[in-house]
Structure 1
Amino acid sequence: MTSPKNDRSGTATAGDGQPKYADRAYRSVAGVVGGVLLLVLAGWLGGDAVARGTGHTPWLALAALLCAVPLIIAFSLRPVVYANDDRVRVRNPFRTITVPWSGVDGIRSAYSTELLAGGRKFQMWAIPVSVRARKSAARQTARAQSGDPRESVSVIPRRHPGQPGADGTFRAPSDRAVNELRELADRHPVKDDDRPNPVIRWCYEIIAPSVAGAVVLIVLAVTG
């Protein structure tokens, strides 16, 4: 499930009369929870090996932790998509992509959510696509449109997969997030003669310790 951190309630008005959106952050709640559990498990197993291990075992455990912990953080806690009136910033496991809305070619969602910019395609790890959630939203839409009394009672309080849109259609959390990002992108027309390119920054603070831990682990395994 993808959850936006901030709400758009109380939006201000920009100078052109358009509503000014507050900064929003989209991330996978399930990914964060899973990452925290994996970190706890890794700390428990690794700490036990360091405290009670003999010979090369403590060093192997430390090297494994040095390699594994950054990877767990990269794939679970790190991914997030930040969006405001000016730009979108996609923080993936190993790199961060920043691009103004005028440089965005499009945002699409099929089996994964993708940002198209600068003639390139960037996957948005923070907004995973759930086929199950889509099917659930489709069933709710069908029941609501057919006048099913079970759905009419539960429409207002239900929060998952969400309340219906203006057209009465329920959408999965990832599809709602993509629709909101598309709304922001559509407010900024693209100019072919002055189109900014995405700025890509590699996350060396994640890559370096993982590579170092893997090298130490291989050396210890060979020499041990």
Structure 2
Amino acid sequence: MDSSSVAGATVFKARTSRWFTGLAVLVTAGGLASVVATDGPAGLLTAWPLLGIAYGGWWLFWYPAVLVAEDAVSLRNPLVTVRVPWNALIDVDTRYALKLVTPSRGYTAWAAPAPGVWGTHSGKVEHLTNLPSTSYGPGGSVRPGDLKNTDSGHAAYLVRSRWQELVETGRLDVDRPEKAQRRWNLAPLAAGVLLVVATALTFGVIS
């Protein structure tokens, strides 16, 4: 898992994000080197599809994140960022991925998928102890997606820990609930569209 603090917020990213992003960049770098070796520097003018590979890796794997801040938790997905104020949160689910549930609907985090078979079986005792109280089901059971060694579980641990702290210290104004806010990630979307257009021009799809 990859979590860090930026501007007062804890930023979580999937543990595989840097590997997939790095792989995309390496493929792009190798492709660009091949283009230059074959066609010279002028060949870079037609290398937009290769740049699209690197950009796609960054956009799909490195850009998505879960941001746990003082006033809200935000899910930064490739297309949309959702900001969920703490007093709008009513449940945290990890069945398929980290999911923040509000009175109106649930919002799923691209950056925190639930584990597969390997992630489930690699769990240890320390991964299911000392979790926030809302992590446990009947009889103290723990869902595989709540294990701290998984992406969904570690992200859920960060969210639930902060949420529980706010509840126990009486800092949530439940009588004045706010609504979750959704906004399109316009800058990454615009950059993606430009790369698609440049690629189409390269292959003569657009004349």
Q: Separation in 2 of the partners of 1:50 and 1:200?
A: 43
1:157 is matched with none
1:125 is matched with 110
TM-score, length-scaled by structure 1: 0.67
User: Paired residue for 1:220, among 193, 202, 205?
Assistant: 202
Q: Separation in 1 of the partners of 2:187 and 2:34?
A: 26
Q: Deviations over 1:98-138 (max 9, x none)?
A: 2220112322101222122362332212222212222222x
Q: Separation in 2 of the partners of 1:163 and 1:112?
A: 17
**Residue identity matched to 1:4:** S
From the superposition, tell whether residues 43 and 64 of structure 1 become closer, same or farther in structure 2 (CA, over 3 Å).
same
1:184 is matched with 162
Q: Separation in 2 of the partners of 1:72 and 1:80?
A: 14
| Cα offset, 1:190, TM superposition | 6.7
Decide which structure has the larger Cα Rg and report it. 1
User: Paired residue for 2:129, among 145, 158, 165?
Assistant: 165
Q: Separation in 2 of the partners of 1:176 and 1:213?
A: 34
Q: Separation in 1 of the partners of 2:197 and 2:112?
A: 32
SS of the residue 2:12 aligns to: strand
1:29 is matched with 15
Q: Separation in 1 of the partners of 2:32 and 2:18?
A: 21
Map 1:51-70 → 2, pairs under 5 A: 52-53=38-39, 58-61=44-47, 63-70=48-55
**Residue identity matched to 1:135:** H
Map 1:88-99 → 2, pairs under 5 A: 88-99=73-84
**What are structure 1's unaligned runs of at least 5 residues?**
7-21, 142-161
1:115 is matched with 100
TM-align CA RMSD: 3.1
From the superposition, tell whether residues 57 and 117 of structure 1 become closer, same or farther in structure 2 (CA, over 3 Å).
farther
| Cα offset, 1:67, TM superposition | 3.0
**Residue identity matched to 1:30:** T
Q: Separation in 2 of the partners of 1:47 and 1:194?
A: 58
SS of the residue 1:208 aligns to: helix
**What are structure 2's unaligned runs of at least 5 residues?**
132-139
The question of 1:4 aligning with 2:3 is answered: yes
Task: State the percentage of identical aligned residues.
Answer: 19
Q: Which has the higher contact order (CA 8 A, sep 6+)?
A: 1
1:158 is matched with none
SS of the residue 1:99 aligns to: strand
User: Paired residue for 1:103, among 70, 88, 109?
Assistant: 88
TM-score, length-scaled by structure 2: 0.72
SS of the residue 1:29 aligns to: coil
**Residue identity matched to 2:193:** V
Q: Separation in 1 of the partners of 2:196 and 2:178?
A: 38
